[in-house]
A and B are shown apart, each in its own frame.
Chain A
Amino acid sequence: MAILNMVQAINLALRQEMERDEKVVLLGQDIGINGGVFRVTDGLWKQFGDSRVMDTPLAEAGIIGTSIGLAMTGFKPVAEIQFDGFFYPGFDQVISHAARMRNRTRGVLTCPLVVRMPYGGGVRALEHHSESMEAIFAHTPGIKVVIPSTPKEAKGLLISAIRDPDPVIFLEPKRIYRAIKEEVPEGEYLIPLGKANVMQQGNQVTLVSYGAMLWVCQKALEQLKGKYSVEVIDLRTVSPLDSDTIISSIKKTGRCVIVQEGPRSFGVAAEIIAQINEKALFELQAPVERVTGHDIILPYYKNELNCIPSEERIVFAVEKVMKG
């Protein structure tokens, strides 16, 4: 076992999947000799060559559309979009085709592809490099949305995403690309998609989050240390949502705080609250709190942390539901 950061863990997952299955191919901008702008594909071009690691022209619709074509002919493409904010020229291909192919052809054609991209804020970047727009993916029927929270999680989830028979959007929280290091098993392991993880057991309040926000949640929990018994749930997969795990936790705690980096309205937290209302409303001892971004364009970096949930805001929300 080696101590790896998330970039290295994803690199390892890609390498092992490419060694295992020659149908796994990578496409993206600057992923070859440059190893990607975050170095996630470092060394892979050298090991696997031009036909497995393809530097593409600068065109996201081209990258994703071509990946769809490859996927329909039996390949397992893993496309890299350089930053989440540059995904949109390729969105048409995802929403109009990748998400619909299986349904459109009654299962004759499928799109087992993965689109990976660095995602989220907090890295003092330029405009379009910091948003958290997972809700627009999650709102698209026909695609799965995965967001890992640690290096070990990233490796196991990415392998499952690559082996999944359907299109998966794999959002890599860039704020914790290098901030967290942990032991990552060298050998193969899979973390199933669509299954949340109870990271920490507790019985007074359920804290639900995913991706980099869990890292902020940990800091909030340090501030609250010993005060309450908190159950922490990592969604791992935003869509499909594992409401069973959340509901059974709420049946135990009766209180819930959800933390999401993206804009407040119509987000993942809103969906979770709807599920709670449908399945566990009368178990609640206080209204559910959500700590979210605001309904605004994420400010440039001087003000971005005034929009992205902070540990103070999480602590505040936990205190509020505990009093409620």
Chain B
Amino acid sequence: MARTKIASFSIEYLQVMDEHGEIDEHLMPQISQAMILKMLRTMLYSRKFDEKMLSLQRQGRIGTIPQGKGQEACSVGAVACMNLDDIIFPSYREWAALIWRGVPLKYVFMNFSGDERGNSADFNYRVFPFNIPIATHMPHAVGVALGMKLKKKNRVVACFLGDGTTSEGDFHESMNFAGVFKVPCVFICQNNQYAISTPTKKQTASETFAQKGIAYGMPCLRVDGNDVFAVYVAVQEAIARARRGEGPTFIEAYTYRLCDHTTSDDAKRYRSDEEFRAWEKKDPLLRLKAFAEKRNLWTKSDEEKFLGEVEGKIDQQVEEFETMPMPDFEDMFKYMFAEMTGPQKEQLNYIKQFKGKYHGHT
């Protein structure tokens, strides 16, 4: 008989670069200048894209959108250490990851303007279309990772999620499966401290989100999610482990959404101005820029030039998006099954009688 401690745990926190762009040389990963610049450019690009989405939404040219502002380092730090054939399950704010992979942004515009074709391109870039019902993508990510393992592909899956997502049953089931099947999957939980209006303390009684990994037998830690290098280090280690066949990792990236939840939200109802301003100072983009400028890797004129280019590219995508013909009317029926059913054929014939009165079609 005994009453002894049989297990104990602790959670690490990692920050490589502080708010002023100063780094700890010992913690700094081996990372080329070209890579650092690519990270910075992707974050800038994503920020610009965010602004464009917002303005299109305000003008009624697209529907409701979420934004990624403030969380770009989580995306970029993670995708930067993946191979191009590694697989991404994004959250709905992951523009930066899409940009990194080169997904044409007109597809994002399409998706957010009520057009299914917006989901048809991502997969070419080894990115799965995001799922709107929270946490439902997680078991899929685990399944894809298991598939890679069974096929001996040595490809890794990165699964992005939010803090609120950790409350759903699908989160727990998929984490458990991931642990049990030891799949090559890295979970990147962007703890932006709110799920819409719900703050962390109402979401969980756990001290950290990171520690949820412990329950499922996987390594886990918290990183400063506004520090792209910290995210990079943590994800790189996790990917290395996954490729060695050592299974999944859970990473909590501590961050803040520098925008409303979506364009239908008003964050002022539940977050103070004071808190918002404090986090504006920790902006991951400003931080990386400060780092790069201090090292003369990046100048104001580089930035102006780059932003000019990016604007041109985004406008080009808007143009392509807006000049696309409406999705084909019959498309509604075409993709339900490999073959249209009897009732569907009847219904399609019926609705054709209303030609000329199709909504949005001529």
Contact = CB atoms under 8 A, between A and B. Distances in A.
A34 interface: yes
Interface string B158-191: 0000001101111000000000000000000000
A34 B195 CA distance: 12
A302 B325 CA distance: 11
A246 to B, nearest CB: 24
Interface string B269-288: 11000000000000000000
A296 interface: yes
B333 interface: yes
A306 interface: yes
B171 to A, nearest CB: 9
Interface string B306-339: 0000000000000000000011010111001000
B167 A62 contact: yes
Contacts of B151: none
A33 B326 CA distance: 40
Nearest to A300: B114
B124 interface: no
B358 interface: yes
Given A33-B197, A33-B270, A264-B347, A89 B169 contact: yes
A156 to B, nearest CB: 29
Contact of A57 (B115, B198, B327): B198
Contacts of B112: 126
A58 B167 contact: yes
Interface in B331-362: 331-333, 336, 341, 343-344, 347-348, 351, 353-354, 357-361
A179 interface: no
A59 B196 contact: no
Contacts of A295: 336, 341, 343-344, 347
B333 A296 contact: yes
Nearest to A302: B114
B273 to A, nearest CB: 15
A61 B135 CA distance: 13
Summarize B's interface: helix, strand, loop or mixed: loop
B204 interface: yes
Contact of B269 (A33, A302, A307): A33
A296 B354 contact: no
A30 B197 contact: yes
B132 interface: yes
Contacts of B333: 294, 296
Contacts of A316: 353-354
Given A302-B326, A312-B357, A89 B170 contact: yes
A57 B329 contact: no
B344 A313 contact: no
A32 interface: yes
Given A296-B344, A312-B357, A89 B168 contact: yes
B167 A59 contact: yes
A8 interface: no
A255 to B, nearest CB: 19
Contacts of A34: 196-197, 269-270
A85 B266 CA distance: 22
A128 interface: yes
| Interface pairs A-B: 4 shortest CB-CB | A301-B114, A34-B197, A57-B167, A305-B359
14 contacts: A55-B198, A57-B202, A60-B168, A62-B167, A86-B133, A89-B169, A128-B133, A264-B347, A295-B347, A296-B336, A299-B331, A310-B354, A312-B354, A316-B354
Given A264-B347, A295-B344, A310-B354, 9 more contacts: A29-B198, A55-B202, A59-B169, A297-B336, A301-B114, A302-B114, A303-B329, A305-B360, A312-B357
